[in-house]
């Protein structure tokens, strides 16, 4: 059926002038948002650098379909503290037509640069996709700010878009959403070869193409081709200049342009589109992409998956899709941390630490909280954790369970609380610890650590985490 779009930018009423939404007729398809962002989203998405970012959010990519892209940044990040965060003007052209144009002008507070972002919204009848095309213009008023001795190239982030409902929750809980079958990212490099990255939290270290083919797609692919594949399309010369960083959540795609010294003294412009990728393109990339290489963390190519009730028997191969939900793994730190498959309390699996020198080693999981894709916290929220530990010839402080509140992307500021230590030769002993609300300001999650301080061996098994 032919679809004839009629686009407009409409302001909804609330207590005051409400949110602004791009409409196709009566159907809202994307929100132009410029509001104060609270924690933990501020920390995770804006690194506490842009308290009131201007964004295009909740992008529907086809008529009458739910949003597949949750947000697109409409500003530049030029360095740690130089962001075109101040909104100067927003203008609209093409109201009531099949081609709406928004122009968003922003500048950094210090006067280093001005950004002019032009967003053209159209409809591709052949592919049944809305097309949001972003022209990202940047004028540096003082290029000497960046043109420093010994620096021959520069990287500026022109957007940091993210997909909707990706990843799936770190753990299952009542009311959790689904990852809906998306299992990998696909892209095409300049030599025509395809690239893939399975969706799990540690596969983001897989090497990405240095350059992308002109007008190629960076796709979030469905494993079965039964749902639409949202994509970012790199337009023209921007494809060769763009480097892509993938956040370890898998939902977050950093787009950065690369520039020489001389290019700083001319207007900079990058173009990309947000749209559905045609299914034949997705299928071809999936079929031709080489198998992902082995991914290693701390010497492991497979790590134990975090579950609230676990005997540490379930694993996550780091070069394969995590599935739904997408568990975060337990991470080893320090000498002698091993995933044991021949000793346990209830089966043959446990988390082992064996040290030959004094010091601390641990297994940790720091993604239990609303800042890490689990359920929302309340003032009364806390955790009750129990785990069993066994020790052999353990000399030193011993083995214990630890808990602490944490804040992502900033230095940790809250203390680790620990149980009594177990040492010597001890049979299976249960350790219990609670951490209770209200959570401290800006806390994003709780870190659970299974810790050994000293020489000897310890095994941890049969953990139970209860949300209070």
Domain ranges of the chain: 7-288, 302-467
User: What string of pLDDT tens digits covers the 468 residues of the chain?
Assistant: 689 999 999 998 777 778 999 999 999 999 999 999 988 888 888 888 999 999 999 999 999 999 999 999 999 999 888 999 999 999 999 999 999 999 999 999 999 999 999 999 999 999 999 999 999 999 999 999 999 999 999 999 999 999 987 767 788 888 887 767 788 999 999 999 999 999 888 998 899 999 999 999 999 998 777 778 999 999 999 999 999 999 877 678 999 999 999 999 999 999 999 999 999 999 999 999 999 999 999 999 999 999 999 999 999 999 998 887 788 999 999 999 999 999 999 999 999 999 999 999 999 999 898 877 788 888 888 899 999 999 999 999 999 999 999 887 776 788 999 999 999 999 999 999 999 988 888 788 899 999 999 999 999 999 999 998
Measured between alpha carbons, how far is 167 from 463 in angstroms, rounded to an integer? 24
Measured between alpha carbons, how far is 185 from 181 in angstroms, rounded to an integer? 12
Measured between alpha carbons, how far is 425 from 262 in angstroms, rounded to an integer? 67
Instruction: Read off the pTM.
Output: 0.93
What does the pLDDT read at residue 407?
A: 83
Enumerate residues 6+ apart whose C-beta is below 8 A from 417: 402, 403, 404, 433, 435
The CATH classification of domain 302-467, taken from the options 2.60.120.260, 3.50.50.60, 2.60.15.10, 3.30.450.270 = 2.60.120.260
Measured between alpha carbons, how far is 123 from 3 in angstroms, rounded to an integer? 8
What does the pLDDT read at residue 466?
A: 95
CB atoms within 10 A of CB 406: 21
Per the DSSP assignment, residues forming a β-bridge with 21 are: 10, 31
CA-wise closest residue to 242 among 208, 193, 204, 198: 208
The strand pair at 54-59 and 27-34 is best described as antiparallel
What is the four-CA torsion angle of 294, 192, 68, 13, rounded to 10 degrees? 130
Query: What sign has the CA pseudo-torsion 458, 461, 464, 465?
Result: positive
What does the pLDDT read at residue 1?
A: 67
Fold of 7-288: Beta-galactosidase; Chain A, domain 5 (2.70.98)
Residue given tokens 């083995």 in the structure block: 399
CA-wise closest residue to 368 among 336, 408, 419, 409: 408
Per the DSSP assignment, residues forming a β-bridge with 115 are: 106, 138
């Amino acid at each position: 059926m032919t679809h004839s779009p009629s686009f407009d930018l409409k302001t909804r009423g609330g207590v005051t002038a409400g949110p602004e939404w791009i409409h196709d007729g009566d159907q809202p398809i994307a929100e132009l948002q410029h509001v104060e962002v609270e924690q933990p989203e501020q920390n995770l998405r804006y690194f506490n650098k842009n308290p009131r970012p201007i964004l295009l959010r909740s992008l529907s990519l086809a008529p009458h379909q739910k949003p597949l892209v949750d947000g697109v940044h409409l500003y530049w990040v030029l360095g740690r503290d130089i962001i075109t965060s101040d909104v100067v003007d927003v203008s609209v052209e093409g109201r009531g037509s099949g081609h709406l144009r928004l122009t968003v002008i922003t500048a950094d507070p210090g006067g280093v640069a001005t950004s002019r972002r032009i967003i053209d919204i159209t409809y591709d009848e052949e592919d049944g996709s809305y097309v949001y095309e972003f022209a990202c213009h940047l004028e540096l008023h003082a290029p000497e700010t960046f043109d420093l001795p010994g620096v021959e190239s520069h990287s500026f982030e022109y957007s940091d878009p993210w997909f909707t409902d990706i990843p799936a929750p770190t753990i299952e809980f009542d009311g959790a959403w689904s990852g809906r079958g998306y299992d990998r990212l696909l892209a095409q490099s300049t030599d025509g070869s395809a690239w893939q990255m399975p969706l799990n939290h540690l596969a983001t270290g897989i090497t990405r193409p240095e350059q992308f083919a002109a007008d190629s797609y960076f796709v979030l692919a469905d494993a079965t081709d039964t749902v639409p594949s949202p994509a970012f399309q790199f337009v023209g010369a921007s494809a060769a200049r763009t480097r892509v960083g993938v956040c370890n959540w898998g939902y977050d795609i950093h787009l950065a342009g690369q520039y020489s010294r001389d290019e700083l003294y001319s207007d900079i412009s990058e173009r990309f589109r947000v749209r559905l990728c045609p299914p034949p393109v997705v299928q071809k990339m999936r079929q031709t992409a080489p198998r992902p290489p082995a991914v290693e963390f701390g010497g492991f190519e497979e790590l134990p998956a975090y579950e609230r009730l676990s005997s540490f028997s379930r694993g996550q191969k780091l070069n394969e899709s995590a599935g739904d939900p997408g568990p975060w793994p337990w991470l080893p730190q320090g000498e002698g941390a091993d995933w044991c498959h021949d000793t346990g309390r209830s089966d043959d699996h446990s988390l082992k630490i064996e040290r030959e020198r004094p010091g601390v080693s641990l297994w940790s999981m720091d993604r239990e909280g609303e800042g890490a894709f689990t359920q929302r916290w309340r003032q009364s929220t806390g955790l009750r954790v129990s785990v069993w530990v066994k020790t052999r010839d353990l000399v030193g402080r011993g083995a214990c369970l630890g808990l602490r509140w944490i804040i992502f992307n900033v230095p940790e500021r809250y203390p680790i609380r620990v149980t009594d230590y177990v040492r010597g030769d001890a049979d299976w002993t249960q350790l219990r610890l609670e951490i209770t609300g209200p959570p401290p300001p800006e806390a994003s999650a709780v870190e659970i650590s299974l810790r050994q301080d000293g020489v000897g061996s310890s095994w941890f098994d049969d953990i139970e985490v209860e949300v209070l």
